[in-house]
């Protein structure tokens, strides 16, 4: 009986929880690098607006199909966070090897996963509705490959020895 | 196997394209950081070299100052005091006219010794160049050479002199000191000239002599290696502060060392 229960609500929870956790993570990473208090407030405000939009989208999506709109928005938001991270690194290059920092591997993994899967998330439901379940798994398999790449980046991040300042 | 729909193929292509862009961003950031790190390391290395050269120049200046002091004490102050002592020792109270003359001479000799000592005490000041500036420091240096009697010296200044960075002044002073030392030691010159030209865009300094000159050896020859240690040092030091150094010399016509430093004006 449990197997016949739709798993879409789990995806929805996953979407919101992922956004909250990653927003907190990126806030910790980014807020310190913003020069003005206004920029920090704006960043937090944007996070809250995205969260509200995400909640509205999830509320409007049915439980029968994959919540492609909210996942698309989540992917877009995380990709934007990652771009801000790279932009900050280019603006304020630090005297350390970037590949020796955990955040580089974590954020690169997230960027690859969410950036690469954005079109898959956004179009997945459309394909299920139009051409059915026969071909759609191809896309989901590609998503899985991208997910695997993210996991490799994460393991690299966990294993890398943080740069020690002399 | 069923062919994939065109739309799915399109999504796959777009996804691959996005992944390509993401990879590009990551690689670009990595390379940029690497380049920046190399730049910082090179900058630190140059700064260290500069500090080492500065320290070396300071030590050499101190060494040269001590030599000058020793020479000054021996040639001038010692002479004056010996002569004064001689006068005092040969005083005869029975000859009042000669006695008065000897007392006067002795007073003059002691006064000269005091004057020379005062000048010497100034040259002992470690930050003399920083305090009085390059032009005046070199003027003093020329006076010392001139007092030795073997060379006539001449200092010319075109334009309004301005101060440059203290550390650069110190390096420039050491370069000129080295050039003057070479003239005294090797050139057999009668006249030594220093010519400053100050312009808003930079400062030119020429050290001229009317000595025997020399043929500048070609690069890579053994002669160049032995000849060039002092001159290579001068070139290296000039390069370190962003100045250009040029030496022109032909046998029997003398030598000219030109230094050019372009820079921003530092207000006094």
Cα distance from A87 to chain B (closest Cα, Å)? 9
Q: Mean pLDDT throughout B67-85?
A: 84
- Rounded CA gap, B175 and A161, in Å? 48
Question: Is residue A165, in this structure, part of any structural domain at all?
Answer: no
Question: Is residue A72, in this structure, part of any structural domain at all?
Answer: yes
Angle between helices B166-182 and B222-240 (to 10 degrees): 150
Closest by CA position to B167, among listed B43, B47, B67, B19: B47
Closest by CA position to B52, among listed B164, B167, B173: B167
Domain endpoint, select from B94, B126, B158: B126
B192 and B102 in a common domain: no
Where residue B227 falls among pLDDT bands split at 50, 70, 90? low
Cα atoms in the 13 Å half-sphere on the side-chain side of B149:
4
- Tokens 């032995």 correspond to B226
Q: Mean pLDDT throughout B60-67?
A: 82
CATH number at residue B266: 3.30.565.10
How many Cβ atoms are within 10 Å of B125's Cβ, its own excluded? 12
Q: What percent of chain B has pLDDT over 90?
A: 22
B10 and B119 in a common domain: yes
Question: Is residue B143, in this structure, part of any structural domain at all?
Answer: no
* pLDDT tens per residue, range B253-267: 889 999 999 875 444
Where residue A148 falls among pLDDT bands split at 50, 70, 90? very high
Q: What percent of chain B has pLDDT over 70?
A: 92
Residues 126-145 of B with CB under 8 A from A: none
B101 and B155 in a common domain: no
Q: Which of A65-74, A150-159, B39-48, B101-110 has the weakest average pLDDT?
A: A65-74
Assign B92 to helix, strand or coil. coil
Which residues of A are less than 8 Å from B37 in CB distance? Answer: 93, 95-97
Q: Mean pLDDT throughout B17-26?
A: 94
Residue pairs between chains A and B whose CB atoms are closer than 8 Å? 73
* pLDDT tens per residue, range A58-108: 888 777 777 788 889 999 999 999 998 888 888 877 766 788 888 889 999
Question: Is residue B242, in this structure, part of any structural domain at all?
Answer: yes
Residue B27 has pLDDT above 80, yes or no: yes
- Rounded CA gap, B23 and A67, in Å? 27
Of A90, A123, A138, Cβ closest to residue B4: A138
Residue B268 has pLDDT above 50, yes or no: no
Q: What is the pLDDT of residue B221?
A: 52
- Tokens 């998330």 correspond to A121
Q: Mean pLDDT throughout A101-123?
A: 91
Q: Which domain holds residue B224?
A: 150-268
Cα distance from B8 to chain A (closest Cα, Å)? 7
Which carries the bigger pLDDT value, residue A89 or residue B22? B22
Number of domains making up chain B: 2
Residues 39-68 of B with CB under 8 A from A: 40
- Rounded CA gap, B227 and B219, in Å? 11
Q: What is the CA radius of gyration of chain B?
A: 31
Q: Is B14 on the interface with A (CB under 8 A)?
A: yes
Residue B159 has pLDDT above 70, yes or no: yes
Q: Mean pLDDT throughout B174-178?
A: 90
Q: What is the pLDDT of residue A149?
A: 95
Domain endpoint, select from B126, B142, B161: B126
């Amino acid at each position: 009986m449990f197997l016949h229960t739709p798993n879409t609500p789990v995806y929805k929870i996953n979407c919101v929880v992922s956004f909250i956790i990653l927003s907190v993570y990126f806030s910790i990473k980014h807020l310190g690098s913003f020069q003005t208090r206004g920029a920090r407030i704006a960043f937090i405000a944007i996070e809250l607006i995205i969260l509200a939009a995400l909640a509205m989208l999830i509320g409007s999506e049915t439980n029968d199909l994959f919540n492609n709109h909210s996942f698309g928005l989540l992917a877009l938001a995380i990709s934007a966070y990652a771009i801000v991270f790279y932009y900050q690194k280019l603006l304020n290059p630090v005297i350390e090897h970037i590949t020796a920092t955990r955040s580089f591997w974590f954020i690169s993994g997230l960027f690859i996963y969410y950036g690469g899967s954005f079109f898959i998330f956004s179009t997945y439901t459309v394909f299920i509705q139009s051409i059915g379940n026969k071909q759609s798994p191809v896309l989901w398999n590609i998503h899985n490959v991208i997910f695997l790449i993210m996991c490799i980046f994460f393991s690299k991040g966990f294993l890398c020895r943080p740069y020690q300042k002399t | 196997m069923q062919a994939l729909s065109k739309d799915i193929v399109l999504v796959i292509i777009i996804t691959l394209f996005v992944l390509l862009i993401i990879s590009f961003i990551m690689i670009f950031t990595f390379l940029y950081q690497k380049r920046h790190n190399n730049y910082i390391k090179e900058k630190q290395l140059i700064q260290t070299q500069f500090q080492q050269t500065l320290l070396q120049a300071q030590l050499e200046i101190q060494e040269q100052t001590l030599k000058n002091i020793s020479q000054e004490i021996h040639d001038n102050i010692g002479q004056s005091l010996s002569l004064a002592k001689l006068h005092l020792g040969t005083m005869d109270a029975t000859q009042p006219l000669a006695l008065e003359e000897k007392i006067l001479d002795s007073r003059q000799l002691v006064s000269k010794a005091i004057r020379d000592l005062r000048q010497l005490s100034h040259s002992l000041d470690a930050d003399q160049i920083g305090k009085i500036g390059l032009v005046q420091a070199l003027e003093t240096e020329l006076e010392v050479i001139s007092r030795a009697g073997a060379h006539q010296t001449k200092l010319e200044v075109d334009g309004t002199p301005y101060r440059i960075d203290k550390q650069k002044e110190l390096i420039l002073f050491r370069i000129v000191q080295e050039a003057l030392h070479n003239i005294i030691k090797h050139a057999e010159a009668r006249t030594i000239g220093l010519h400053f030209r100050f312009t808003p865009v930079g400062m030119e300094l020429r050290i001229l002599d009317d000595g025997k000159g020399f043929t500048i050896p070609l690069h890579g020859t053994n002669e160049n290696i032995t000849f060039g240690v002092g001159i290579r040092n001068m070139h290296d030091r000039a390069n370190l502060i962003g100045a250009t150094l040029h030496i022109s010399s032909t046998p029997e016509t003398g030598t000219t060392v030109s230094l050019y430093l372009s820079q921003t004006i530092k207000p006094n």
